[in-house]
Structure 1
Amino acid sequence: MRKTSQIALSVLLCVTVAFTSGCSVGKKKTAEKADSEYVTLGEYKKISVKKSEIDEQVQKQIDSTLDTYAEYKKKKTGKVKDKDTVNIYYVGKVNGKKFSGGSCTKKENPDGYNLTIGSGTFIPGFEDGLIGAQVGQTLEVKATFPDSYSNNPDLAGKKAVFTVTVNYIQGKKIRPELTDKFVTKNLTSYKSLEDYESTLRRKSTEDLAWDSVYNASKVNEYPKKRTKEMYDQLYTSINYYLQQNNYTISDYLSAQKTTSADFKKDLTKTAKEDVGKQLVYGAIAEKENIKVSDKEYKEELKSYLSTYNCDDEEALNKQFHNFYGTDAKDLIMDDLLYKKVKSYLADHVVEK
């Protein structure tokens, strides 16, 4: 019964899920000029980065992690107000009959559902209907499905009645303390608090170094073939994601309230931006003879086979052709190169 506009955000994220590089998909080898012939590089052998900026980035990552594990005080008294986050159970009916996806009961989900009033997450009338309800109260809320409701077209435009129980209002956030015990228990890829913080600091330094060099560099020309390949890969990713969630490009355009022409324009812009990034780190790799070895590729391949639950490279390629329209190796090698360039840049940072 939640609104489908969330697909707009999900689609924008789907093409970056597999890679951490910030470049949506990798490049294919082409017969075009070397990357360094397309760009004018900024200073990259002595990069000035403020220590305070690194500290700030590290703290943001720590705060985000602690927020993930935060708990909230449960307010067991009071009335629901706009912007409150409430925990509820609910059972929805249309013409007196339950419908698929319209319930969250204690039996089905003992933890209940956390809903922020005014977020527009649920269909019109539901959230407003909870304002003024007392904690512990069970009430009936009337709401109407939108005239266009792609989650379940049979419900489009119909009136529904929800029996809702307000379990509690979410109170003050309580973050856990960042300690060795917390890290070894919850962040198991790190050996200790010191290991966690030093890793964050290194990654933050790499990111800031890359941003500095990229912003100081200029792309003089975008190779047409590679830009077209990037566009096709982005389009394939979006289309595949939509299909897996029973949506079409038309549904996406409708949710975004945009036209096909504007969609293509935006996608072309994104493709050029991604190619521009590849040209910059590719040019640095050329000048500094930074390469990815076959051994490094095979080690990374093991991780991808595990992540994508594939037995071998052939099976992984099939998945990547569905996701991106290209072999896995093209993308993995490019992502590894990007990471090696960032590491090189971090080694040339001068903190001030």
Structure 2
Amino acid sequence: MSRNKICKSTIVAVMVAGALMLTACGGASVPDKYNYDDFSKYVKLGKYKNLEYTKADASVSDTEVQDAINTTLEQAKTKEQVKEGTAASDSIVNIDYTGKINGKKFDGGSATGYELNLGDSNFISGFAEQIVGHKVGETFDITVTFPANYSNNTELSGKKATFTIKLNSLVKTVTPEYTDEFVKKNTKFKNKAEYEKNLKNQLLKDKKAQAASSEKQELFQKILNSSKIKKYPSKELKDAQKKMIDTYKALAKKNDMSYEKYLKSSMGMSKKAFENQAKVAAKNTVKQELVLFALAKQYNIKVSDKEYKEYLDKLLKDAGYTRSQYEKAAGMSIEKYADQNNLYDTMVYEKVMAKVLKDSIAK
């Protein structure tokens, strides 16, 4: 399990990601939120029964199975050091090199056992090209000129350098043959037939989960679009805005910057502009949450403390963590992670949308 990363994007997108999709990225008590006996003073729910939705495809083709096999073979590739031959323009080579300017070594100009793809090199112009045609075991000099605007080290800009290069080997990538023996050695299955059957079943399971997710999102969006907010609850509205502001304050601290400076550099916004947009984003979030929890009320759906704890424990187990291991790795408890990433909302969403999906009509 990894902690969510917040990339540079619109504020609304950040807030919507935490509510509309309602997916995480994964003694616990259920968060105290939206515990209203009557949601009607806040939201008028749109139609949520007998809705039509597009039935998503959940079939698996032979091509998809073969693609998965190819991925397995790609991951099992090995490298061979070929000790004879001549470097071609598309070769991968293993080299030692020492760079000098006016006879003196410079920082970052030397390496041993370096693998370089001559056909896709990000080295300065002329470096890789001058290795082509040399033989394995050969030691030779090449001369290159650093670009005038060399950003990696301005002291080298425009300078001519000589590199002494030893071509240690050519590097050959070997893709294993797909056989029963390969399957037995690299998987828990005895032969290709067993492996492919399991692979197809797993792909089908994943496809069904993706299809169900797509169908639920389509239905939730329809309900959301047809629902009307009468009044925003002040507590949840303030909490949603504060959560976003606190997130960016924490990011600023992590980057050793002031809150205002971080907003300017990462978002291109002033504190005032950011917090005004955060108010708009908070309203979008609260609308989605109101609709969700109002639906939960209609369907009499609840999540107990026991269910919530078991859900968090399963996330940890699936990710291979104990609670203490996770806290050490993430720097926070699983409960805090769950709160930051709306995992309680995820549970409610899945329960609610299972009911909505059952009450809807596929087309």
Structure 1-normalised TM-score?
A: 0.57
1:345 aligned to which of 356, 359, 363? 356
Deviation at 1:309, TM superposition (A): 5.1
Counterpart of 1:37?
41
> Residues 332 and 38 (structure 1 numbering): CA distance in 2 closer, same or farther, change over 3 Å?
same
Cα distance in 2 between the residues matched to 1:184 and 1:92: 53
1:261 aligned to which of 259, 265, 272? 272
1:270 aligned to which of 261, 264, 281? 281
Counterpart of 1:171?
none
CA contact (8 A) 2:19 2:285 kept: no
Please give the secondary structure, in 1, of the residue aligned with 2:52.
Answer: strand
1:279 aligned to which of 285, 290, 294? 290
User: Which deviates more from structure 2 when the two are superposed, residues 236-245 or residues 335-344?
Assistant: 236-245
Counterpart of 2:78?
none
Alignment of 1:1-352 (within 5 A): 8-9=8-9, 21=22, 28-29=32-33, 34-51=38-55, 54-55=56-57, 77=89, 96-98=106-108, 141-142=146-147, 143=149, 145=151, 158=154, 181=195, 191-249=201-259, 250-306=261-317, 307=319, 310-311=323-324, 319=332, 328=339, 331-352=342-363
> Residues 285 and 272 (structure 1 numbering): CA distance in 2 closer, same or farther, change over 3 Å?
same
Deviation at 1:262, TM superposition (A): 1.6
Deviation at 1:192, TM superposition (A): 2.7
Please give the secondary structure, in 2, of the residue aligned with 1:97.
Answer: strand
> Residues 37 and 269 (structure 1 numbering): CA distance in 2 closer, same or farther, change over 3 Å?
same
CA contact (8 A) 1:305 1:311 kept: no
**Bigger radius of gyration:** 2
CA contact (8 A) 1:206 1:346 kept: yes
Deviation at 1:18, TM superposition (A): 12
Deviation at 1:337, TM superposition (A): 0.8
User: Which deviates more from structure 2 when the two are superposed, residues 200-209 or residues 271-280?
Assistant: 200-209
Please give the secondary structure, in 1, of the residue aligned with 2:361.
Answer: strand
> Residues 13 and 276 (structure 1 numbering): CA distance in 2 closer, same or farther, change over 3 Å?
closer
Please give the secondary structure, in 2, of the residue aligned with 1:202.
Answer: helix
CA contact (8 A) 2:263 2:274 kept: no
Write the letter of the residue equivalent to 1:21: L
Alignment gaps of 5+ in structure 2: 1-5, 75-87, 133-141, 164-169, 171-192
Q: Identity over the aligned pairs, expressed in percent?
A: 21
Deviation at 1:31, TM superposition (A): 7.6
Cα RMSD after superposing both structures? 5.9
Counterpart of 1:174?
none
Deviation at 1:342, TM superposition (A): 1.8
Alignment gaps of 5+ in structure 1: 1-5, 79-88, 118-125, 146-154, 168-178
Number of residue-to-residue matches in the alignment = 288
Deviation at 1:332, TM superposition (A): 3.6
> Residues 213 and 10 (structure 1 numbering): CA distance in 2 closer, same or farther, change over 3 Å?
closer
Cα distance in 1 between the residues matched to 2:266 and 2:23: 25
CA contact (8 A) 2:15 2:244 kept: no
